[in-house]
Amino acid sequence: MAGTARFADIAALNLPDLRDERLERYRRTLAEIDPAVWIGRAAPAALLFQSALRDEFFTEERSRELFEQANDPKSLKWYDAGHYLDEAARRDRIAWLSEMLSLERREPAGSR
């Protein structure tokens, strides 16, 4: 939900004293465990990405970057909302999760 590919993006928002060289050192330190590095290994698990068109924190480019790093099956939904998304996103998340759980019950383990 309204994510980014790098932990340093989140730190830059939440830790205002972490700037310049300190931010770069933080970025280098966490680079090996950034979501962008690992999201591509989630397959065959299905992934739902939800992003906000009016996100106050992360640009559309940052949201798309994380989505692009993931393997299929994946889907991306955009909402006319701010970073914390909205009721439509919540409903879509519940429906998606219900569908995934329903598929899991119908398909034998390892068949996907």
Structure tokens at 93: 């998340």
pLDDT of 9-26, one tens digit each? 999 899 989 999 999 999
Band the pLDDT of 108: cuts 50, 70, 90.
low
DSSP state of 55: -
Q: Which of 102, 108, 106, 97 is nearest to 46 (CA)?
A: 97
| pLDDT at residue 42, rounded to an integer | 94
What is the value of pTM for the model shown? 0.83
Burial class (CB in 10 A: 0-12, 13-18, 19+), 87: exposed
